[in-house]
Amino acid sequence: MDFRLLGRVGAATGAEELQLGPVKRRSVLAALLLKANSAVPVEQLIAALWDDAPPTHARTVVQGHVSRLRALLASAGAGEHGVGLMTQGPSYVFEVPETLLDTCRFERLARRGRLRQRPADAVAALGEALALWHGPALDGTAPSAPLRAAAQTLEEARLDVVESLAVAHERLGDRAGAVAVLQAEAAAHPLCESLAEALILALYRAGLRSDALDRYHRVRCLLADELGVGPGPGLRGAYETALRGGPMGAGGGGPVNLLPAPGTGPAPVPDTRYEADARYEADALLLAPAGRPPAPAGPAPRLLPRGVRGFLGRGTELAALDRITGAGDGAVALVTGPAGVGKTALALQWAHHRQARYPGGTLFADLRGFGGVPVEPAETVREFLIALGVPARDLPDSSAAAAALYRELTARRALLVVLDNARGTDQVRSLLPSGTGSAVLVTSRIRLSGLIVEELARPVPLDVLGPVPATELLAAAVGEERVAAEPEAADRLARLCDGLPLALRITAAQLAARPHWRLADLAAELADEQRRLALLSLDEAEESGVAAALRITVQGLPPEAVRLFALLGVVPGPDLERYAAAALLGRDPAVAAEALDRLAGAHLVTEYAPGRYSTHDLVRLYARGLGTDEGALLRLLDGYTATALAASLAAEPGEKPCCTLPREAPADAPVRTFADRPAALRWYAVERENLAAAVTAARAAGHDDRAWRLAVLQWPYVVWSVRDGWAPLLEQALEASRLLDDPDAESRVRALLGWVLTREGQLSEALAQLELAPALAARAHDPSSEAIALVNLAVALDADGITDASLRHVTRAVRLAREAQDVLTELLALQHRTHQLLARGDIAAAERCTAYALALDDHGVTTGLGALRRAALRLSRSEALLALGERDAAESCTRQALAEAASQGFQEGVNRARSQLEALGRPVDLPAAPKGGDRPVRS
């Protein structure tokens, strides 16, 4: 396990983050961890939760949060790691090994780094200590005085380590490293004199004398403006060292001393603000390169707009941005995601917390790629040049010249550039700074592949919020008490909003505007799909809300992508792939794949697995309202039917098809091909939910001829997973077949449904179906179908013992299959006939029956049910041979059956063969498992 205070307070077990819940629970955990392994009185926890007077029920609230933390720790197996939350009188003790707490590891590494004699070892240990920080200490906790004080203490400890790391870099001879370590921290803490002093000396020793002098004067002015004081002795001493070319320390000489030595020039100028400014200008003139005016000494630009209030979660994405930008070399991070998912909020949250790392300044531009008129790159370049200190009158006339000047000015600056709402790579390319110390953060609803290829941008995909952070966002907006009073309604609201932050914030606004409403009231309103998108709009007269955001995203997509998007509302199942999309469009799969890729690039669909795309509910609702092609659903149903027919033929190549395509279905529709039986069975497994939803949609739309086919065509997979809840689907198919008055369809559905019910042990329900199936098949003039129905009926009848009726049914089934020259169905009938003979003790007849069956020519079928039936027949023959005293022949037959059963993943046959070999007293050598390991096992 791992507990974190150095950044957002959190806990994890392995790779799984524990969902701590609301801010107050996170604050309780932080207060306990700050005094880990010590007793913390309840009063201290109350003080950590409320900065003002606590409510009367504060103790109960704390006890509730402690109870939830205990349950969370127990579910994560905390006890196995030596972690526990104990009650000790009026106090609580959080027992945790120090190795699991980041503050303890930080202190240990910091101490180790300071004690190391070798500079390289010191740099490594101190750098490892700082790497434990992932943001401001105790982030995500209540803003109470005790927690603020603790966070400040931790921050001061971190700054001490930063200064120690800079010293270690200098000892190592890495002066640039020392400067880099100190620059970001000095910018984040501009009034910290010790950091400023260390940075001035580090800049000077690195040969950056003008930068050192500039830093001093900036800090001096800030101290005068903010605190009304002058620099202390240490800071003044660092300035004098840099100004007069004092000693550099070990490892090299300083820059040329351009000023007179002490005592030889004019008396020192009193250190007042305006006189010091004049002195600074003189310094700059002395140190500026010949023939070029000095750079403006104004403050670095900080153009970030205010961040979004109530930002929650997104720890994984924030950490990803840290990793990408931490790599340096002008890193470009690309935050992508659907409309309303919170890309801008994430970018601003990260940028506000990290802009101190970039002393050159922070530039921000909303490129308006989605909504309004997109901003031209040349316009943004001009705004950036002005922010960087170029007077408006000196701006170049041409776009090319302005871009060149922007590259020149950003070459030596460490800038953070945030480019929000980009529509294309062309909008971004000329705005990238040229300096390797800079970083760029781009947000877009579209996957900007050009930026990834050309600029090596690293994508950070942003998806909707999970249930817990979504509920936390609601609580932050409408109040924790209101959410705590209706937890189930809050959870339902989060689900109805699809976890989309924009929808959640609009929902919170609706609740804020209606304080008399319960959360359950709004949830009931949102449950109405006809009104949901209208309710998720701030004002129907404005271009705001979820529907407007989606409409803007769709604009500009290629025509086929727009058409496919409009058809997504037709899709009944949870996802689709290119063949289903091709059926919807009535186009080639390659065209459909390109349209799906465009929609995925715009985050209107999500490619959650290779080649498989899903759609969030709000997106589907919006697509459904766009109007649709009336033939789209029928095309999709026919596409599923044709593919299921191909899958059944691949799964059981020797079996006769159980149906044909509907007469009016297109014969040339593109259909997925299946290389082998495992591939077909995998397709059935992956598409099961979609096929079930298609049956329901077909019934609702009156396409009963498609409904029964889509159900019955899954029979090869039903056989392999018979006890997996198939009855409801087949009952829908039965109703469809009865409405069609189609005896062939009805007989096939009843035969399959009856067999499933038999295997589930529901014999009376099974017989109610199976007793009707043979006559229906006879009416349809299909002897193979009638034979299968008779065998299934006999199996159900024989569950309570062999009957004369079941014997007659099987005898007729054998004759019907033989007359139809349907060898595999005849094998099925003979397999059960042998079972009946053995059960009745007619061993000689059973041996003759198996000999005849195994001699039948099944046209080389070596896989699927044909192979299983042969394995079962061999096992029955082995029983008969053993009963007749032919032990060697019985063993040979059993081993053949074992090999066939194992090759097909027929576990029941494998177990039966092993038992027979043990009964023979023979060793059991199991054959190798089938390659691939993905064939289903018949239970």
Q: What pLDDT sits at residue 939?
A: 27
E strand spans, 591-686: 606-609, 612-614
Which of 336-363 are b and which e, b meaning 16 or more Cβ less than 10 Å from the residue's Cβ? bbbbbbbbbbbbbbbbbbbbbbbbbbbb
pLDDT at 301: 85
Assign 581 a pLDDT band (cuts: 50, 70, 90). very high
Report the mean per-residue pLDDT for the chain. Answer: 83
pLDDT above 50: residue 549: yes
Q: Each residue of 646-674: pLDDT tens digit?
A: 999 998 887 888 888 888 888 777 789 99
Q: What is the pLDDT of residue 705?
A: 95
pLDDT of residue 572: 92
User: Is pLDDT of 778 > 90?
Assistant: yes
Helix (H) or strand (E) holding 419: strand 415-420
In the structure, what pLDDT confidence band is assigned to residue 259 with cuts at 50, 70 and 90? very low
Say yes or no to pLDDT of 894 above 90.
no
Quote the pLDDT of residue 644.
95
Q: What is the pLDDT of residue 595?
A: 93
What pLDDT, on the 0 to 100 scale, is given for residue 184? 74
Q: Round to whole Å and give the CA distance between 718 and 38.
A: 59
Cβ pair 706, 698 in contact under 8 A: yes
Q: In this predicted structure, what is the pLDDT of residue 937?
A: 30
Burial of 236 (0-12, 13-18, 19+ CB in 10 A): middle
Contact 753, 747 (CB under 8 A): no
Digit-coded pLDDT (tens) for 294-339: 334 346 888 888 777 767 778 888 989 998 988 777 899 999 988 8
User: What is the C-alpha separation between 601 and 617, in angstroms, rounded?
Assistant: 18
pLDDT single digits (tens) 610-647: 899 988 888 888 888 786 677 899 999 999 999 999 99
Q: What is the mean pLDDT of residues 47-75?
A: 87
Question: To the nearest whole percent, how much of the chain has pLDDT over 70?
Answer: 90
Q: Residue 878's closest CA among 896, 862, 890, 861?
A: 890
Report whether pLDDT(724) > 50: yes
Say what the pTM is. 0.61
Q: Residue 765's pLDDT is what?
A: 94
pLDDT of 938 > 80? The answer is: no
**What is the maximal distance between C-alpha atoms in the chain?**
128
Report whether 832 contacts 808 (CB < 8 A): no
pLDDT value for 206: 85
pLDDT average, residue stretch 820-829: 90
What digits encode the pLDDT tens for the residues 343-356? 888 999 999 988 88
- How does residue 262 score in pLDDT terms, banded at 50, 70 and 90? very low
Beta strand pairing status for 439-444 and 415-420?
Answer: parallel
Q: With bands split at pLDDT 50, 70 and 90, how would you rate the model's confidence at 251?
A: very low
- The token duo for 781 is 């003039």
Average of per-residue pLDDT across 683-704:
94
Whose tokens are 């976890």? That residue is 499
pLDDT above 80: residue 907 = no
One DSSP character per residue, 19-82 reads ---SHHHHHHHHHHHHTTTSEEEHHHHHHHH-SSPPPTTHHHHHHHHHHHHHHHHHHTTGGGGT
Q: What is the pLDDT of residues 367-396, one digit of tens each?
A: 888 766 788 899 899 889 988 888 878 888
The pLDDT tens digits of the residues spanning 160-176 come to 899 899 888 888 888 88
* pLDDT at 271 (0 to 100): 33
Kindly tell me if the per-residue pLDDT of 35 is higher than 90.
yes
pLDDT one-digit tens code per residue, 397-419:
888 889 999 998 898 889 999 99
In this model, does residue 715 exceed pLDDT 80? yes
Helix runs in 652-726, H state only = 677-700, 704-712, 715-720
Least confident of 126-135, 252-261, 437-446, 800-809: 252-261
* Residue 743 banded pLDDT, cuts 50, 70, 90: very high
State the number of CA atoms in the 13 A half-sphere of 257 facing the CB.
12
Q: Look at residue 295 in the predicted model and tell me its pLDDT.
A: 39
Residue 257: pLDDT band (50, 70, 90) is: very low
For 130-152, the pLDDT digits (tens) are 989 988 899 989 889 899 999 98
Triad 603, 608, 611: Cα angle to 5° = 95
DSSP string, 124-190: HHHHHHHHT--SSTTBTS---HHHHHHHHHHHHHHHHHHHHHHHHHHHHT-HHHHHHHHHHHHHHST
pLDDT for 541 equals: 40
Which pLDDT band holds residue 932 (cuts at 50, 70, 90)? very low
